[in-house]
Amino acid sequence: MQLQTIRTALGQLQSDPEEPRAWQSLDEAITLENGDLDESLRLLSAARQEHLKRREWDAVARLLETEVRLSTGSERELERLRLEAKVLRDNLLDEGRACRLFERILELDPRDRDAAVALEESRGKRGTWQQLVDTYVAEADKAPDDVYR
C-alpha cells in the first residue's frame, strides 16, 4: 500500500513542489516501503523528470536525494549520487553539498574521474575565493578613509 501513498504524494508535488505535507508523506512512505524497489524508483524518476522539464531544481534535487536514500547499498545508488551531485553543483550552486556527494561517490568508486575532478575544481575555487577575501580585507585595512575600513 506504500506505493499508493508514494503515487499520491508525487501527484501532489506535481501541483505544488513546495507542499510540506506531501514531502512528509513521501518521506514516511519511502521509509516504510520494503516492497518493490524498482517500482518505487520508477515512480520517483518519472516524477523527477516532470520537475526537470519545468526546471524545478529544488524538487529535482530532493527527489534525487530520496532516490539515493531508497537505493543505498544497491547498484543504483552510484548513478543517483552522480545525478544529485550534478544538480546541486550546476543548477542549485550548492558546492558544499555537491562536494559531500562527490566524496561519497569516490568512497563507492575510487576510480571515478569526474568526481575527483569536480572535487579538485571546487577546492580550487574555494582557495581562490579565500585569496580574494584576504586581498580585499588587506586593502580595506590600508585605506586612508574610515568609510572604507
**pLDDT tens track for 5-48:** 999 999 999 999 999 999 999 999 988 867 788 999 999 999 99
Residue 15 lies inside a defined structural domain of this protein = yes
CA terminus-to-terminus distance, the chain: 63
**Which percentage of the chain shows pLDDT scores above 70?**
93
Q: How far is Cα 106 from Cα 56, in angstroms, rounded to an integer?
A: 28
Residue 33 lies inside a defined structural domain of this protein = yes
Residue 130 lies inside a defined structural domain of this protein = no
Q: Which domain holds residue 67?
A: 1-71
pLDDT over 90 (residue 129) = no
pLDDT over 90 (residue 124) = no
Residue 62 lies inside a defined structural domain of this protein = yes
Alpha-carbon distances of 135 from 41, 131, 138, 141, rounded to whole Å: 48, 6, 5, 10
Question: Do the Cβ atoms of 105 and 82 come closer than 8 Å?
Answer: yes
| pLDDT score, position 35 | 73
Torsion angle of the four alpha carbons 8, 71, 92, 46, in this order, in degrees rounded to the nearest 10: -40
Question: Do the Cβ atoms of 115 and 86 come closer than 8 Å?
Answer: no
Residue 118 pLDDT class (50, 70, 90 cuts): very high
When comparing pLDDT for 12 and 127, which is higher?
A: 12
Residue 112 lies inside a defined structural domain of this protein = no
Residue 31 lies inside a defined structural domain of this protein = yes
State the total domains in the chain. 1
Average the pLDDT over 113-125 and give the result.
Answer: 90
Residue 90 lies inside a defined structural domain of this protein = no
Residue 129 lies inside a defined structural domain of this protein = no
CB atoms within 10 A of CB 129: 11
